[in-house]
């Protein structure tokens, strides 16, 4: 029996070695980062910053490809179905944890159809309004919303997006029904908000800070636990201190590969992501927008997955209580 066991062990070691050797030259062609929202939004921004910073550690071209629609679920499904060879990855955010509670027929299984490659950043959201909105602080905005009950429209990037989740919590906390206006991403939504076609939007600081600094939108509060240090946001209250007790939301982004991607490739990718996130240029580009790069254990694939699972439980309850579903 001992000989048979040794033979099986030797065969297994041989197979692992052969598999690793087969992938030793990975990546031999450009790596694609799929962003499940329109170009120009916060998800696109972190993906392009990451792609830039990954080129050196991977010694390969890294490109961003936007596959927008249905609150990020179309892009996520594309990667879940992609060949598990390390050449098609997903950069996605908190929507990975909210979509399961919102979509009865989600075209992928969040915890089973992906390999987790690490959490990469965390961004507070801001509550912003069109330039001509008849309110200049959160207290006035609250009065304006209740005086216009049923007529207020708030933009988002589709059911399951971060802006949608933030709008859901705002609507529930204010107990005031609003009309949700979905876009393929918050970049096109921002254009309409600045043009006055929509009244409000909850947008990650990544995309909101430049427009707030340019005074192209009004800002009423931030969803972070503490006030933000950025000069353009230092005067903006947290929504919790403005009266929405417990309203705290941080939008995180992570990187994913299709289930079944070889472990040698996953290790190569996780190592390259860790190196990329130490790039001072990338860190600076995120920090000036109020966004924090992840440096803790959630960069570990197992910890990343555990975190997403915990977020699914946390947001699942809030979404269920809101009664909102996508289908
Ligand atoms: C985007 O990149 O458009 C946003 O992350 C979408 C959202 O989740 O609100």
Q: What is the pLDDT of residues 94-151, one digit of tens each?
A: 999 999 999 999 999 999 999 999 999 999 999 999 999 999 999 999 999 999 998 9
Nearest of 35, 28, 50, 44 to residue 273 by alpha carbon = 50
Compute the distance from residue 205 Cα to the ligand 1 centre, in Å.
Answer: 11
Residues 36, 74, single domain; the answer is yes
44 pocket-lining for ligand 1 (C-beta < 6 Å): yes
Ligand 1 centroid to residue 150 C-alpha, Å: 24
Does the Cβ of 319 fall within 6 Å of ligand 1? no
In a domain, 15, yes or no: no
Q: How much is the pLDDT for 7?
A: 80
Kindly state the average pLDDT of the residues 198-223: 96
- Residue showing tokens 């910890």: 303
Q: Considering the entire predicted model, what is its pTM?
A: 0.92
Report the mean per-residue pLDDT for the chain.
94
Q: Give the per-residue pLDDT at 1.
A: 58
Q: Is residue 110 part of a domain?
A: yes
Q: Please state, in angstroms and rounded to a whole number, the distance separating the CA atoms of residues 164 and 172.
A: 12
How many whole angstroms separate alpha carbon 230 and alpha carbon 233? 5
- pLDDT value at residue 55: 98
Question: Does residue 22 surpass a pLDDT of 80?
Answer: no
Cβ atoms of 117 and 270 within 8 Å: the answer is yes
Q: How far is the CA of 57 from the centre of ligand 1 (A)?
A: 27
Domain boundary pick from 204, 222, 240: 222
Instruction: For ligand 1, atom 3, name the residue with the nearest CA.
Output: 185
Ligand 1 pocket check for 157: Cβ under 6 Å: yes
What average pLDDT does the segment 178-194 reach?
Answer: 97
Residue 23, domain member (yes or no): no
**Nearest Cα to 131, choosing from 207, 188, 200?**
200
Determine, yes or no, domain membership for 303.
yes
- Expressed in angstroms and rounded, the spacing between residue 87 Cα and the centre of ligand 1 is 23
Which pLDDT score is estimated for 5? Answer: 80
Query: 67 and 144 share a domain?
Result: no
Angstrom distance (rounded) from CA 264 to CA 302: 16
The one-character DSSP state at 294 is: P
The answer on 139 and 118 residing in a single domain is no
pLDDT computed for residue 327 by the predictor: 72
Distance from residue 279's CA to the centre of ligand 1 (Å): 24
pLDDT of 16 reads 65
Please give the average per-residue pLDDT across 234-242, as a whole number.
92
pLDDT at 163: 97
What is the structure's pLDDT at 24?
84
More confident position, 270 or 327: 270
pLDDT at 63 over 70: yes
Which residues make Cβ contacts (< 8 Å) with residue 187, sequence separation at least 6? 37, 38, 39, 40, 41, 44, 207
Instruction: Please give the average per-residue pLDDT across 228-236, as a whole number.
Output: 91
- Domain of 184, CATH number, reads 3.40.190.10
Q: How far is the CA of 125 from the centre of ligand 1 (A)?
A: 11
For the residues of 132-182, what is the DSSP string, one character each?
T-S-SSHHHHHHHHHHTTTT-EEEESSTTSHHHHHHHHHHHHHT---EEEE
DSSP string, 305-321: HHHHHHHHHHHHHHHHH
User: What is the distance, to the nearest Å, from the Cα of residue 117 to the centroid of all Cα atoms in its chain?
Assistant: 14
**Number of domains within the chain:** 2
Task: Decide if pLDDT at 182 tops 80.
Answer: yes
**C-beta separation of 254 from 147 below 8 A:** no
- Rounded Cα gap, residues 42 and 39, in angstroms: 9
Residues 141 and 109 in one domain: no
| Cβ neighbour number for residue 240 with a 10 Å cutoff | 17
Question: Does the pLDDT value for residue 19 go beyond 70?
Answer: no
Q: What percent of the chain has pLDDT over 90?
A: 84
CA pair distance 219, 217, nearest whole angstrom: 7
All residues at 6 or more sequence positions from 311 whose CB lies less than 8 Å from its CB, including other chains: 94, 96, 97, 252
Residue 88 has pLDDT above 70, yes or no: yes
**Shared domain check, 110 and 135:** no
Per-residue pLDDT averaged across 198-216, rounded? 96
The tokens for 177 are 């029904």
Domain assignment present for residue 237? The answer is no
Residues 209 and 296 in one domain: no
* Contact assessment for residue 174 and residue 166, using Cβ atoms and an 8 Å cutoff: no
Enter the DSSP assignment of 71: G
Q: Residue 231 falls within a domain, yes or no?
A: no
Determine if ligand 1 sits within 6 Å of the CB of residue 66. no
Is the CB of 232 inside a 6 Å radius of any atom of ligand 1? no
Which residues constitute the domain of residue 76? Answer: 30-122+251-322
Token pair for residue 198?
């929509």
Is the CB of 42 inside a 6 Å radius of any atom of ligand 1? yes
**What CATH number should be reported for the domain holding residue 86?**
3.40.190.150
212 and 259, same domain (yes or no): no
């Amino acid at each position: 029996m001992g000989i048979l066991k040794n033979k099986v062990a030797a065969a297994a070691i041989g197979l692992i070695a052969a598999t690793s050797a087969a992938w030793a030259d990975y990546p031999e062609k450009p790596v694609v980062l799929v962003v499940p929202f329109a170009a120009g939004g916060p998800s696109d921004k972190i993906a392009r910053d990451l792609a830039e910073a990954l080129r050196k550690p991977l010694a390969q071209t890294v490109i961003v490809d936007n596959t927008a629609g249905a609150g990020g679920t179309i892009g996520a499904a594309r990667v879940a179905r992609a060949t598990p060879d390390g050449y098609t990855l997903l950069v996605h955010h908190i929507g990975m944890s909210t979509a399961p509670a919102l979509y009865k027929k989600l075209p992928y299984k969040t915890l089973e159809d992906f390999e987790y490659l690490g959490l990469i950043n965390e961004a507070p959201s801001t509550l912003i309004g069109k330039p001509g909105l008849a309110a200049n602080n959160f207290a006035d905005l609250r009065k304006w919303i209740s005086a216009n009950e049923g007529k207020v429209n708030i933009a988002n990037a589709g059911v399951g997006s971060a802006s949608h989740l933030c709008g859901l919590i705002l609507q529930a906390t204010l107990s005031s029904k609003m009309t949700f206006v979905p876009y393929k991403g918050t970049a096109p939504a921002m254009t309409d908000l600045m043009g006055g076609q929509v009244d409000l939007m909850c947008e990650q600081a990544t995309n909101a800070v430049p427009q707030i600094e340019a005074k192209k939108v009004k800002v009423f509060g931030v969803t972070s636990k503490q006030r933000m240090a950025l000069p353009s946001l230092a005067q903006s209250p947290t929504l919790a201190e403005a009266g929405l007790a417990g309203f705290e939301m941080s939008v995180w982004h992570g990187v994913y590969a299709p289930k079944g991607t070889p472990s040698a490739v996953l290790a190569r990718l996780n190592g390259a992501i860790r190196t990329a996130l130490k790039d001072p240029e990338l860190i600076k580009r995120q920090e000036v927008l109020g966004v924090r790069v992840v440096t803790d254990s959630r960069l570990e694939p197992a910890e990343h997955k555990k975190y997403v699972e915990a977020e699914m439980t946390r947001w699942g309850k809030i979404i269920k209580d809101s009664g909102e579903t996508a289908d």
